[in-house]
Amino acid sequence: MRHWLRKYLPDHAAIHENRMLAPFRNTLLHPRLWHLNRRSAAGAVAVGLFTGLFPPPFQMVSAALCAVIFRINLPLAIFTTLYTNPVTFIPLYVFAFWLGSLILGAENAFIAPPEFSASHPGDSLLALATWLVQLGWPLIVGVLLLATVFAVLGYVAIRVGWRYWLVRSWHQRKRR
């Protein structure tokens, strides 16, 4: 599994050669941020799934900060935030709002999201931000609960999947 993941993730040398990241080299080149093992991968997926539900500009930045703080695999944490995209973002937030309303017992009526206008993307993003603010506490509670559930499920899935992969490779090696 490690070899498969390494094909798709950037390596440590790419960061070292990037001039824009020069002030952060000491922090970003820490070996534990680039080491891929079962604990690091599980933590990175958990962080990525948790921060993936943050509002769009903060997803990858918060995943990178958490990876540095917790010393888990940085590229995998950032990559995992990509499960939220323009197609999945609205349904996840609608579900989070419903979940938060259920938990808080709020009787707030759901406000339909604004339509996106390709001719005026700035106005559309402003309308989206206003829509999110209007939804309030049910949305915040729902997003935090949903992000926590995603993070726990992702952590457990990676730990169990990695263990299964390892045991399977031991059995295959023993058969040979």
- Locate 50 and state its tokens: 């948790």
Q: In the prediction, which pLDDT does 95 show?
A: 93
Under 8 Å between Cβ of 120 and 82: no
Distance of CA 10 to the CA centre of its chain: 17
Residue 115 contacts by C-beta under 8 Å, 6 or more apart in sequence?
124
Residue 106, helix vs strand vs coil? coil
Confidence (pLDDT) at 33: 79
The pLDDT of residue 85 is above 80: yes
pLDDT at 113: 73
Whole-angstrom Cα distance, residue 137 to residue 37? 38
Q: What is the pLDDT of residues 125-165, one digit of tens each?
A: 888 788 777 777 888 899 999 999 999 999 999 999 999 99
Contact assessment for residue 101 and residue 138, using Cβ atoms and an 8 Å cutoff: yes
| Integer angstrom CA distances of residue 110 from 93, 97, 106, 123 | 11, 8, 11, 21
pLDDT digits (tens, 9 = 90+) for 18-50: 776 666 666 666 667 778 889 999 999 999 999
For residue 26, the model assigns a pLDDT of 61
- Which string of DSSP letters, residue by residue, matches 21-89? GGGGHHHHT-GGGT---HHHHHHHHHHHHHHTTS-GGGHHHHHHHHHHHHT--HHHHHHHGGG--TTTH
Position 140 scores a pLDDT of 86
pLDDT of residue 2: 62
CA 29 to centroid of chain Cα atoms: 21
The rounded distance, in Å, linking the Cα atoms of 67 and 159 is 17
Sign of torsion over alpha carbons 148, 162, 14, 82: negative
pLDDT digits over 47-82, tens only? 999 999 998 788 999 999 999 999 999 889 999 999
pTM of the model: 0.73
